[in-house]
Structure 1
Amino acid sequence: MYKMTNFSNEVQMIERDLLSMGEEVLHQMENVKDVFFIPTKDANVVIQQDESIDAFDHQIHTSILHLISLQQPLPEELRTLTTMMRMAREFERIGDQVVNVAELKKELDVDDLRPYVSASFVDGYKEMLQVSTAMLTKTLEGMRAGTPQSDKSVEQMDEDVDALFFSLQQRIIRDMKETPDQIEKLAPLFLAIRYVERMADHVVNIQRRKY
């Protein structure tokens, strides 16, 4: 049975769960950064982390729905709760994109992609994930500090991710032309960079929805 306590205390507990969920997603993103380029990096470990993120998403949604059903929130409180629910869903979607990247590694069945791609792609891909991770780090810092206003620097960093995305697309095409026998290995990388670009978009959504 759901144990009802003070409404504001319940909201604070949900906030803590939401922040913990974000930190778990951040850890998941950090783990996937080198998954294509380190032979010992196990994609399955990254994929299994998503179970924890899904559990947080379920717990947060369940807690909010119980809270709304047991005590009618004020309009401002309802906006806060629905915003937290949406933020949890954005975190969950980042986790899904990370899983998509890890699944690509398994499908490629290659321990280390560096022999098949240019060094500039490796550097650009890592930078793209690093910037996306930094975006989430700044967003979580704002959540911890309780600052509801949007951090415009996060949106600027998203523009950097977009620029890297388009640059890496062209880099893959050039690599394909230079090594046409490796097209089968290179083609999935279009998806990989798209997944990272979507991670950054979800972080921007979280940043804009901060309550």
Structure 2
Amino acid sequence: MSADDVLESVRSNLATELSRLGSSKALYAATEGDLDADRVLRAAANAEHAAAETFDSWAEDEPNETAREIFTAIAEEERAHFDRVREEIDEADSDGYDDELPAIPAHLRSIDGTIERAGALLGRIMVADESKSQYVGYFVGDADPQTAAVFRELREDLEGQRERALDVIEAVCTDEADLEAATEAAATVVQVAYDEHVETLESLGVDPKPVC
């Protein structure tokens, strides 16, 4: 088993959940039913800001040098993403994010072990890739190609993040048990995101299952 196997295992075992997290209903849930462009941007900014703060906190107490360097690099990239999204928000005097912490960063901040963090990082990136596709699609549909291009660029950055997450897993996992722990951590992040997705949609009176 390798880091790539961790990725493929989560993709395979949680294919349905990931697919639904990449559906149009996911953006509806992220904005709690308010699909106004400004609200969509604020949801994105909130996610980027929370991710940057989370990975910064991981780097501060991470004993493994490889993991610490990668957590720091991704935190910086997420902060740059936040700044880029904030530029698109109309209200110049606003911070551009909300105080409420989404489910994923709240879960991530509860994780202590390096192996578990490495897996959870991969899970977060997998979820972010699905959500970014919806932000791109929203602004394409909103006849705003400039903002769609911003999110397309942010999504492209996730490819590099995914490779770095796999590098961390390879660096810190020394046996099958470690790789299984990383797999479980990644899958848990996807499940946490999906559970929040379902709960929010149901609270809005929307069936989370796709219409066939």
Name the one with the larger helix percent.
1
Larger radius of gyration: 1
Q: Is TM > 0.5 for Structure 1 vs Structure 2?
A: no
Calculate the TM-score normalised by the size of structure 1.
0.35
